[in-house]
Structure 1
């Protein structure tokens, strides 16, 4: 029997404009009425199942501030406003923002909501939308205000408040009273969340863990030069080294957690699984008994550990607890099983709930047969909020099937809290050389080392140095000191750096950039000084890049397994992962897709990171639903070339073709690219070369 540990990570960055005390984005409230409520409620249906929840302090702070009326939710203000009283700017804001929701699962199923989206336009063109404001009636804006907030309500909210289901059935012509009731329900749910999680822990069904307060990459706050350990040769910013801030982020997290839940947390999910040996003494001093990180960090640690350098490391070393020591201090640790954790977060929703659950349970049982009975542990650690929007039913069917499967299989699988596991099975092995890195790539590439990221770190470092100089003069009052430090701690959060640089992009890059610089400006203002002009200059300068490139010339590559750079010159291209947003996926089989055509054939090249006993499927969506399947079991090269006659696809001339590429294993869809919408392009006709010929 193996111990299965679920650690569901719940996090939202600090969206609050510190000057206006307004949450400029609504995701704390909206995830509350969906994922946060659903996740703590569905587990109540399985009293013998145990789970762990990581509620970040900065998330809890915003829940608390919203409940106490200490901050306002800007999008809630827009929603509360009577539709008849909306001014032009607010109407524009509604049309821009109130379709920021999963369209397939939460817009298309509701005819009125889908109708409003189509009227606005599936692609948001600012000038067109502004010109079209006059064509939206007051009732249409009222329905939009209602639908956006109604659609976010999860399956538990509908069970607790049946009137939500009735409103969804009604579908249109909502009244102001009905809209206000939806928003009141949002606030009622928000007000109940902390007590629900506390009650679940008090009855012993869940354990609540914490994270450094404002979700910083703690090793980089301790000393940004640590990044060079796993990214040698990279150009880094001016050194940022404030170990006392790293300690404070832990202390503040423990203090708030104890105040909200009645006891201090035992466990820590370091922000983004980021660890370094120097953090071990800080954890021990703050009362943290264990931390969790990623399997790559474990295996990179073992590569450097003297006790393991003389022998190969078996992957089964992962499925146990560890004691980690440094500089006279030690804490326990668990390391996440990556492939199954990523499957839940990224691919389970692409399969039926039962099939996805069966796939997960099968692999858990297989691992259970390989690890020591009673002491083996399988840590599944992942985002506990963002994934559920991609499930048609909000994840209810999948979670119930998984929890139910574990509850009924007590002979092979046993779910437990991390504290219970470590208490009954103290680690028998010790790491003496802990790797420095995060759960993403086992390094800190996402947050440091690119031009925008480095500039942000430099501005943060100069502001922190300025504040310390003011503190050292003794001229700041205790309130000034404490408030200015909170602004620094907020600016140390990882989320700002996540969106800087080329790795990730969002429609709200400029807003995140502005909030980051506002925190730094506030430090100077609180100290009675004028902020440097550099803080008025945006850091983020990138515009959104296209998801894929379309072909620029006709191609006729060889299909006999040969490889030539020139064969694919001018082909269209897509790189998996280029559409990533708030979530990161590490394991991908496909590294690159190229495509194009000549007069008679459509060609596609798929580059593979590794070989696998799986099936590659090219799923055509336009002009009709068709599939081409290739077994990868016998593929000897690192790429696959496929040619499909255009006639077989029902295509002629310069028609439009739309497709996705999938990896399927044992009937379970593991990868799909692009993830959100297919590649769509116009075939190049035979006279294309003549029309585009130049000397």
Structure 2
């Protein structure tokens, strides 16, 4: 059988009108993922894959080769001594520096663990926090091979401004070799490099907003929408041109942004020299009106366009589930999944396509252990051969008569249009386009070109992704501002007044209040595993984990909500969700910092002791736990919970890190008369 990986490497364009990147994620993923991913593959001579590189990523990465402080707001502030920063600058910098994943990136750097839990910092502490943040993002290649990175990790604390300069210079040189490394692997026929329409737009929505309703009749779309066919064409052509300038050849393999396809977009891609694209299995099922899994294991020919349909299950296992398993167990599970497919279809071609950068910060060692186990297993499996997408083009294919519109998320476009905020963003985009059409005849070609680039930038799928309730980020206001700034720039370039609506944020501040209600009063519930009364948990804290699930993650996580609170003697926790089926075989690992206590307890145990701390459990309608706090001397503790069963880890809670609890909180601040 054949296995074809595609790793999608993408960041939206964070540049403002002055060309300054407003967010540092291109830089951070460059030192962690963009080199590590092909490097890990290169360690195995018989492993091939395709890397999809988007245009905004290409352009922005090049800005870090020399003097990155001139192009990145974060690095400009990061290089300054903390004492010189304004209050707002300092707060924003600290917010970024506390965004690393705790379990996989912060832990192991003792000083970072200490600072991560603080709310206020001295100048020296900020300096340590800044450098440790960058070190936490360094990938395994840098940690193993770069002497400066290794030296700074070993130093642990008491960093200096000079340490910053040396580190940034070293990382800039490293980033300067990334695309060269890709070209070397391509020339060795180890990888295919593909790309995406320029600013990562949802092409079917640009061509015809009605595609959203064709994919899901219940989706609400803007009433007075525009068909942006010229923009769609430019996205494709500009991507091909930039790719050729960067890698020295023209690719005919594309990953349409978000796997979004329809008949018109495929026809347009084909007319511009694209011969192979990929999308999701759900599109094939809708196209053939059949849910048979056997159907996806071959390339298809639709109107002379070859299409690969991703195995959604296998892709999501890597993207979202294997992070909870040991590397060897995850690799073994993946291989057994492949063997099951082979037993059904001996000549299967399996497409595994997913984000190539964001998953690994949730994996131990940035995914290195997992890929070592997986690639080793694939090298030994004589019955399975990995292929690049260029090699897939030479395989036998099946004919496809119809192609349903949709994306890789539920076969619809609801992630980018439908909810009020998403639709409002489209309405403002269409309004700006209409105003431009009324004035463009009087504008110079140079101004028109700048306006067109702002329109293309505003059409990036990422802005619409973060609007609405289906995704959460601490940086929603920043993303919102970048989107609206494109439209404001257009009005300024036209020379007419900017509509007031563009100065009003579309999205609400997605602070923790969206999913987290803090405790309001003391509680003393009975620990019996039953939903006895609403009132016994009234005033408790609630963390709604379901609001943190991405649409890709679906409902695979057993715990949907965490309830918690305390009285004078005990802490109380309740876990709501698919708990009943875990009552007999469920396991919970309770981790308490800074006590450095950890205990694995079966759901069916009624009472255990953890270093004189009594823990009671009851699991029936939901899981309830009490924890005796009278034996704890610390004022504050931080807790995490790991839910597991006989198959392994299922969920780590809270998903955003650790739950901080003030054991002496009397909640008087919440009292009122």
| TM-score normalised per structure 2 | 0.85
Whole-angstrom distance in 2 between the partners of 1:612 and 1:317: 34
Q: What does 1:498-647 align with in structure 2 at a 5 Å threshold?
A: 498-546=465-513, 547-548=515-516, 575-580=544-549, 584-586=552-554, 588=556, 590=558, 592-593=560-561, 606-608=576-578, 616-621=586-591, 625-629=599-603, 641-642=621-622
**Does 2:304 correspond to 1:330?**
yes
CA RMSD of aligned residues (A): 3.8
Matched with 1:226 is: 211
Shift of the 680–533 alpha-carbon distance from structure 1 to 2, 3 Å rule, reads closer
> Could you say which residue in structure 1 is the equivalent of 2:170?
185
* Conserved? CA contact 1:613–1:665, under 8 Å: no
Partner in structure 1 of residue 616 of structure 2: none
**Counterpart-to-counterpart distance in 2, 1:643 and 1:164:** 44
Indicate conservation of the 8 Å contact 1:269/1:292, yes or no.
Answer: yes
Residue 263 of structure 2 aligns to a residue whose secondary structure is coil
Match of 1:259 in 2: 245
Residues 125-175 of structure 1 show CA distances to partners (whole Å, capped at 9, x for unaligned) of xxxx4xx6xx434xx443333222233221112334222112211122334
Structure 2: how far apart are the matches of 1:536 and 1:248?
A: 28
Task: Give the equivalent residue in structure 2 for 1:402.
Answer: 374
Q: Distance in 1 between matches of 2:654 and 2:433?
A: 42
Match of 1:352 in 2: 326
How far apart are residue 11 of structure 1 and its match? 0.9
2:35 to 24, 34, 37: 37
1:162 aligned to which of 134, 140, 147: 147
Gaps (5+ residues) in structure 1? 124-128, 631-638
2:115 paired residue number: 116
Distance 2:288 2:658 in 1: 41
1:420 and 2:418 matched: no
- Is it true that 1:315 corresponds to 2:301 in the alignment? no
Total equivalences in the alignment: 643
Distance change in 2, residues 1:614/1:323 (3 Å): farther
Name the SS of the counterpart of 1:394 in structure 2: helix
- Are the aligned partners of 1:221 and 1:242 in contact in 2 as well (CA < 8 Å)? yes
Greater shift after overlay, 454-463 or 88-97?
Answer: 88-97
Deviations 1:296-338 (A, max 9, x none): 22212221xxxx6xxxx531112111122xxxx4311111112
**Alignment partner for residue 297 of structure 1, among 283, 286, 301?**
283
Distance in 1 separating the partners of 2:471 and 2:297: 32
Displacement of 1:114 in angstroms is 2.8
SS in structure 1 opposite 2:474? Answer: coil
Change (3 A) 1:263 1:565: farther
1:556–1:519: structure 2 CA closer, same or farther, 3 Å change rule? Answer: same
**CA–CA separation in structure 2 for the residues paired with 1:32 and 1:643:** 42
> Residue deviations 1:213-235, cap 9 Å, x none?
11111111112222112332343
Question: Closer, same or farther in 2 for the Cα pair 1:665/1:578, shift >3 Å?
Answer: farther
Q: Which moved more, 1:551-560 or 1:166-175?
A: 551-560
Confirm or deny: 8 A CA contact 2:275 2:305 kept in the other structure: yes
Asked whether the 8 Å contact 2:55–2:243 carries over to 1, the reply is yes
1:275–1:37 CA distance, 2 compared to 1 (3 A): same
Whether the aligned pair in 1 keeps the contact of 2:316 and 2:552 (CA below 8 Å) is no
User: Partner residue of 1:47?
Assistant: 45
**SS in structure 2 opposite 1:292?**
strand
Alignment check: 8 A CA contact 1:555 1:598 kept: no
CA distance in 1, matches of 2:638, 2:101: 24
Q: Secondary structure at the match of 1:258?
A: helix
C-alpha change, 1:292 and 1:586, in structure 2 (3 Å) is farther
User: C-alpha offsets along residues 14-49 of structure 1, whole Å, 9 cap, x if unaligned?
Assistant: 11112x221111111111011111112111111211
* One of 244, 264, 272 as aligned partner of 1:278: 264
| Whole-Å separation in 2 of the counterparts to 1:448 and 1:682 | 41
2:185 matched residue in structure 1 = 200
Q: In the alignment, which of 221, 237, 244 is matched to residue 236 of structure 1? A: 221
CA spacing shift, 1:586–1:198, aligned 2, 3 Å: farther
Counterparts of 1:273 and 1:117, CA distance in 2: 37
Match of 2:364, SS state, is: coil
1:413 deviates by: 1.3
Query: Partner of 2:339 in structure 1?
Result: 365
Asked if structure 1 preserves the Cα contact closer than 8 Å seen for 2:476 and 2:510, the reply is no
Separation in 1, partners of 2:512, 2:266: 40
Q: Of the candidates 198, 205, 210, which is equivalent to residue 213 of structure 1?
A: 198
Q: Which position in structure 2 is the counterpart of 1:342?
A: 316
- Give yes or no for the alignment of 1:136 onto 2:114: no
Contact 1:110–1:171 (CA under 8 A) maintained in structure 2? yes
> 2:20 aligned with 1:22, yes or no?
yes
Q: CA deviation at 1:595?
A: 5.7
Q: Deviations over 1:341-396 (max 9, x none)?
A: 112122222222222222222222232232233xx112111111111112231111
Matched residue of 1:48: which SS? coil
Residue 556 to residue 97, structure 1, CA distance change in 2 (3 Å): closer
- The worse-fitting range, judged by mean Cα deviation, of 546-555 and 501-510 is 546-555
Task: Give secondary structure in 2 for the equivalent of 1:393.
Answer: helix
Q: Give a deviation string over 1:185-210, Cα, whole Å, max 9, x none.
A: 22112211111111111110001111
Contact preservation (8 Å) 1:614, 1:665: no
Say whether the 8 Å CA contact 2:2–2:385 is kept in structure 1. yes
Once residues 279 and 645 of structure 1 are traced to their aligned partners in structure 2, the CA distance between those partners, rounded to angstroms, is: 53
1:438 corresponds in structure 2 to: 407
2:576–2:623 CA contact under 8 A, matched in 1: no
**In structure 2, C-alpha distance between the alignment counterparts of 1:165 and 1:107, rounded to whole Å:** 16
Note the C-alpha offset of 1:671: 4.1
Query: Where does structure 2 lack aligned partners over 5 or more consecutive residues?
Result: 605-618
Q: Which residue of 1 is the match for residue 62 of structure 2?
A: 64
The Cα shift of 1:519 comes to 0.6
How far the C-alpha of 1:536 sits from its partner, in A, is 1.4
Q: Is the 8 A contact 1:441 1:586 kept in 2?
A: no
In 1, Cα distance between the equivalents of 2:183 and 2:579?
A: 44
Instruction: Quickly say closer, same or farther: Cα 1:247–1:615, change in 2 above 3 A.
Output: farther
Secondary structure of 1:8's partner? strand
SS in structure 2 at match of 1:480: helix
SS, match of residue 53 in structure 1: strand
